[in-house]
């Protein structure tokens, strides 16, 4: 195999892997949107109880700065702060960890 064929094969493999990662990320965001619509929307549409409204960059900025893992931890186990409280799993104990993570990632993606 010629050098350019090897490089082309590596490039193609890298592009395919990137496409798979993008597809998985899109699927996770779609799951997050469904969870948001079914559970999170109640508080995160208009900021009920101090919840940062989805899309409100100012309200989300300091939270996003804490990092995704902190936000997911708060969403999974609940959190009380100066601006309000977050019930564990958004008050929906039927949500799995992956669903909660996806919802957080979705809200962050909509609020940057």
| Number of alpha helices (DSSP H) and beta strands (DSSP E) in the chain | 5, 2
Total of domains in the chain: 1
Whole-structure pTM value:
0.81
Average pLDDT, integer, range 13-17:
64
59 is a domain residue: yes
Residue 64 in domain: yes
Boundaries of domain holding 38? 25-110
79: exposed, middle or buried (C-beta count within 10 Å: 0-12, 13-18, 19+)?
A: middle
Percentage with pLDDT > 70 across the chain: 83
Tens digits of per-residue pLDDT, 44-80?
A: 999 999 999 999 999 999 999 999 999 999 999 999 9
In a domain, 37, yes or no: yes
Whole-number percent of the chain with pLDDT over 90: 74
Q: Could you give the CA distance from residue 34 to residue 32 in angstroms, rounded to a whole number?
A: 5
- Residue 98 token pair: 């992956």
Q: Could you give the 3-state DSSP secondary structure of residue 79?
A: strand
Q: Kindly report the CATH number assigned to the domain that includes residue 55.
A: 1.10.760.10
Establish if 44 belongs to a structural domain.
Answer: yes
- For residue 6, the model assigns a pLDDT of 52
């Amino acid at each position: 195999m010629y050098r350019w064929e090897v490089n082309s094969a590596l490039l193609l493999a890298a592009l395919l892997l990137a496409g798979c990662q993008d597809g998985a990320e899109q699927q996770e965001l779609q799951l997050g949107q469904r969870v948001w619509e079914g559970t999170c929307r109640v508080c995160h549409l208009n900021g009920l109880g101090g919840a940062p409204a989805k899309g409100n960059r100012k309200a989300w900025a300091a939270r996003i700065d804490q990092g995704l893992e902190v936000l997911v931890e708060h969403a999974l186990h609940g959190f009380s702060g100066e601006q309000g409280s977050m019930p564990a799993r958004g008050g929906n104990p039927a949500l799995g960890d992956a669903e909660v993570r996806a919802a957080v990632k979705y809200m962050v993606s909509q609020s940057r």
